Chains A and B, each alone.
Chain A
Amino acid sequence: GAVVSQHPSWVICKSGTSVKIECRSLDFQATTMFWYRQFPKQSLMLMATSNEGSKATYEQGVEKDKFLINHASLTLSTLTVTSAHPEDSSFYICSARQGNTGELFFGEGSRLTVL
């Protein structure tokens, strides 16, 4: 199957700093990528839909100024957690939709810990 790579896999940062997470589709072009947040033993909470070349579509309750999403190319979307606080600590996971089949491929996830 197609491969989606997410980086970094884990990151620890101080409160108030910003953290950027990258999501890359390695062997296919993805016009649409999705960003999720997953709490321990819970489901995938969709944060936003990232569309190549246009603004991301955020889900209700997700602060767009807090979670900046950029999808500058067909193979790369980035999520920047700005001015991170301990409550932003979570597992963030991206997915990319393969155009031909519509199948969703997930990245390996990024565990963010804000001290």
Chain B
Amino acid sequence: GENVEQHPSTLSVQEGDSAVIKCTYSDSASNYFPWYKQELGKRPQLIIDIRSNVGEKKDQRIAVTLNKTAKHFSLHITETQPEDSAVYFCAASKDPSGTYKYIFGTGTRLKVLA
């Protein structure tokens, strides 16, 4: 069935360093890949997304890359700050405007050490 694998499960970095989280999806029909940040006790919030017709997207310190051939996509956070500490989830969906469900990765707990 559909599956999204996410690595690593935990990640600790020094403040100012970069963090990279990787996801692999199984359904080649997936065409929308959002990333969500969930702070402790709060709801997940969209931080960046990418569609299958684009290979890379950047928003300030956050970037996402997509390799459709390998079915990989990654989140890159540069110049990390303590407030980046949270759990990050990747997801894959076939049709973001339709009724298809989102398949979530297992999450990565990022700790940014001051």
Of the candidates A34, A42, A51, A109, which one forms a contact with B43 in the assembled complex, judged by CB atoms under 8 Å apart?
A109
Of the candidates B44, B91, B96, B99, which one forms a contact with A49 in the assembled complex, judged by CB atoms under 8 Å apart?
B99
Of the candidates A31, A103, A108, A109, which one forms a contact with B46 in the assembled complex, judged by CB atoms under 8 Å apart?
A103
The answer for the CA separation of A43 and B107 in the assembled complex, in Å, is 6
Cβ-closest chain B residue relative to A93: B43
For residue B91, which residues in chain A have a CB less than 8 angstroms away from its CB? 104
Given the known interface contacts A108-B42, A108-B43, the answer about A42 and B106 at a Cβ–Cβ threshold of 8 Å is yes
The answer for the CA separation of A70 and B92 in the assembled complex, in Å, is 25
**In the complex, are the beta carbons of B43 and A107 less than 8 A apart?**
yes
Chain B 35-78, CB within 8 Å of chain A: the 1/0 string? 01000001111100100000000000000000000000000000
**In the complex, are the beta carbons of A101 and B109 less than 8 A apart?**
no
For residue A97, which residues in chain B have a CB less than 8 angstroms away from its CB? 96-97
Cβ-closest chain A residue relative to B105: A43
Q: Which B residues, 62 to 114, have Cβ-Cβ distances below 8 Å to chain A?
A: 89, 91, 93, 95-99, 101-107, 109
The answer for the CA separation of A86 and B63 in the assembled complex, in Å, is 42
**In the complex, are the beta carbons of B97 and A102 less than 8 A apart?**
yes
- Chain A interface residue count, Cβ-Cβ cutoff 8 angstroms: 25
Q: Which A residues, 68 to 115, have Cβ-Cβ distances below 8 Å to chain B?
A: 93, 95, 97, 99-109
**In the complex, are the beta carbons of A43 and B89 less than 8 A apart?**
yes
**In the complex, are the beta carbons of B96 and A43 less than 8 A apart?**
no
The answer for the CA separation of A41 and B102 in the assembled complex, in Å, is 19
Query: Whole-angstrom distance from the CB of B9 to the nearest CB of chain A?
Result: 9
Chain A 31-57, CB within 8 Å of chain B: the 1/0 string? 110100000011110100101000000
The answer for the CA separation of A93 and B102 in the assembled complex, in Å, is 14
For residue A109, which residues in chain B have a CB less than 8 angstroms away from its CB? 43
Return 15 A-B CB contacts under 8 Å, by A number: A31-B99, A32-B99, A42-B106, A44-B104, A46-B101, A93-B43, A93-B44, A102-B32, A102-B93, A103-B46, A103-B49, A103-B96, A106-B44, A106-B45, A108-B42
Residues of A participating in the B interface, judged by any CB pair closer than 8 Å: 1, 31-32, 34, 41-44, 46, 49, 51, 93, 95, 97, 99-109
